């Protein structure tokens, strides 16, 4: 396995985002980014997998909080805006120029116990691959709608840049980028903490790369008489699964991963990689959803590896909701809100849970707060339809559908959707449906009528 493969594998091991909580009209999405799970009891960003310091090591001294100057704050705002713009535009080259790959490699290499000469060669290959045209850490998120949310200041980790991904196909992910040199006129990103993984990119790559490099650095005699690391022994199968997932065949990837021995399947990296494959097969638009049992089991396996860090709660939200554990669901949202602040999508997720629990008035109030937080967020406006229907607010549902049609160009066809029957049989629903049937004769509507799903024109 080339050193560059480690980062590519990490980029592929990305869970999708709350498929069970999708609006009626959305399909699941992937926020392709780094994803792995932290060791139990290890603060995210602090551990380093197999290359961790000895437990007997002295605890690190508490850091003195850095107070940003106005110039530093302005520089970070410029960096955040530029990175969000590059991600949204799908410009990997522009994304790559905003990374300090040298510092990223230093973080990956820290603690990997192989000869320095071998580590240096690996570093050259890794950095060369990441600096190539069209390459970038977190490159798989390129093209997804990305917003720069805030500069988040942490006493221990220092200032970081908080971003949110809201792909057009639905879902959400957050990630924080750490900075190489705050005093620089043009600071760069040197690492990223992805909420769905609960870990830094550098730690994810280290966990995968360390055993592979250790195996490759052995002499022929050592390889002959020493036991091979399970991950190294089965790297060809992992690469095969990676190729299947990359080509759009998650079932083939899942079959390959499930054929691995238990010692490899239990690896934290493989767990999250497998979760990605299962999540692409889990489809709540079908009744019953295929792979639902496998999806829940996969989150359950990952759950044991997460710390209490508020950022790690993002992965658990869907798990709690599917299990009907609403108290844990709301607790996870509260912890997440501590980090991301007044975020419209977090409030929308709360409205979704309240609606499913049958607390419709509270759901409507949360939905209103979500819109108040982000009045121009299309995903929230679309998702609120579910909340309105659940509360029996059929006139408001009709008004919301008209708003979505006029503001965003949506067309709807609810044929066969049991969830919408009560609305369609109501007086406001029939009036809205009559309008749709009348519009079908409008020459501006393409032949064939409305789309089969809620899709913008």
Can you spell out the DSSP letters for 136-202?
-TTGGGTTS-EEEEEEEEETTTEEEEEEEE--TTS--EEEEEEES-TTSSS--EEEEEETTTTEEHH
254: confidence class by pLDDT, cuts 50, 70, 90: very high
Q: Round to whole Å and give the CA distance between 394 and 388.
A: 7
pLDDT digits 0-9 by tens, 370-406 = 999 999 998 899 999 999 999 999 999 999 999 999 9
- Closest by CA position to 265, among listed 297, 218, 312, 223: 297
pLDDT given for residue 275 in this prediction = 83
pLDDT given for residue 311 in this prediction = 87
- Average pLDDT score over residue span 20-45: 25
Mean pLDDT of the chain: 78
Residue 60 in tokens: 């690190």
The pLDDT of residue 441 is above 60: no
25 or 118: whose pLDDT is higher?
118
Q: Please give the helix or strand (H or E) that residue 95 lies within, else none.
A: helix 92-97
pTM value?
0.76
The pLDDT of residue 258 is above 90: yes
20 or 322: whose pLDDT is higher?
322
220: confidence class by pLDDT, cuts 50, 70, 90: low
279: confidence class by pLDDT, cuts 50, 70, 90: confident
pLDDT given for residue 439 in this prediction = 64
Which of 85-89, 275-279, 381-385, 453-457 shows the lowest per-residue confidence on average (mean pLDDT)?
Answer: 453-457
Residues of the chain with pLDDT > 70: what percent?
77
CA 171 to chain centre: 8
- Average pLDDT score over residue span 419-443: 84
Collapsing DSSP to helix, strand or coil, 393 comes out as: coil
62: confidence class by pLDDT, cuts 50, 70, 90: low
pLDDT given for residue 226 in this prediction = 53
Are 299 and 319 in contact by the 8 Å Cβ rule? The answer is yes
pLDDT given for residue 236 in this prediction = 84
Q: Round to whole Å and give the CA distance between 379 and 24.
A: 12
Q: Which of 10-19, 137-146, 161-170, 331-340 has the highest mean pLDDT?
A: 331-340
pLDDT given for residue 91 in this prediction = 95
- Average pLDDT score over residue span 174-199: 91
């Amino acid at each position: 396995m080339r050193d560059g493969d480690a980062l590519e594998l990490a980029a592929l091991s990305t869970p999708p985002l709350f498929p069970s909580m999708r609006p009626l009209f959305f399909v699941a999405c992937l926020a392709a980014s780094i994803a792995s799970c932290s060791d139990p009891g290890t603060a995210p960003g602090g551990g380093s997998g197999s290359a961790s310091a000895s437990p007997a090591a002295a605890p690190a001294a508490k850091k003195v909080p850095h107070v940003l100057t106005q110039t530093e704050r302005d520089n970070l705002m410029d960096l955040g805006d530029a990175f969000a713009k590059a991600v949204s535009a799908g410009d990997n080259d522009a994304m790559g120029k905003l990374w300090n790959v040298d510092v990223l490699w230093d973080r990956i290499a820290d603690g990997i116990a192989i000869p320095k000469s071998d580590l240096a060669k690996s570093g050259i290959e890794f950095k060369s691959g990441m600096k190539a045209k069209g390459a970038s850490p977190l490159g798989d998120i390129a093209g997804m709608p990305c917003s720069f949310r805030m500069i988040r200041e942490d006493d221990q980790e220092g200032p970081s840049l908080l971003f949110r991904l809201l792909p057009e196909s639905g879902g959400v992910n957050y990630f924080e980028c750490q900075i190489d040199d705050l005093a620089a006129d043009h600071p760069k990103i040197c690492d990223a903490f992805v909420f769905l993984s609960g870990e830094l990119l550098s730690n994810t790559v280290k966990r995968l790369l360390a055993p592979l490099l250790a195996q490759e650095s052995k002499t022929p005699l050592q390889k002959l008489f020493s036991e091979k690391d399970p991950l190294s022994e089965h790297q060809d199968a992992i690469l095969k699964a990676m190729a299947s997932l990359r080509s759009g065949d998650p079932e083939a990837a899942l079959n390959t991963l499930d054929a691995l021995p238990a010692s490899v399947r239990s690896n934290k990296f493989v767990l999250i990689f497998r979760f990605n494959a299962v999540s692409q097969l889990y489809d709540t638009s079908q009744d019953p959803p295929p792979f639902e049992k496998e999806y829940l089991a996969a989150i359950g396996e990952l759950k044991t590896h997460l710390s209490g860090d508020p950022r790690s709660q993002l992965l658990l939200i869907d798990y709690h909701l599917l299990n009907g554990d609403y108290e844990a669901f709301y607790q996870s949202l509260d912890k997440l809100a501590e980090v991301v602040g007044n975020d419209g999508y977090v409030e929308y997720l709360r409205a979704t849970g309240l609606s499913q629990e049958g607390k419709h008035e509270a759901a409507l109030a949360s939905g209103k707060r979500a819109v108040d937080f982000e009045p121009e967020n299309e995903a929230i406006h679309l998702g609120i339809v579910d909340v309105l229907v659940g509360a029996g607010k059929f006139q408001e549902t009709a008004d919301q559908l008209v708003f979505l049609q006029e503001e965003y160009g949506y067309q709807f066809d609810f044929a066969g959707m049991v969830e919408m029957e009560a609305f369609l049989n109501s007086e406001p629903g029939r009036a809205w449906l009559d309008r749709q049937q009348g519009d079908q004769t409008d020459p501006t509507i393409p032949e064939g009528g409305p789309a089969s799903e809620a899709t913008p024109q």
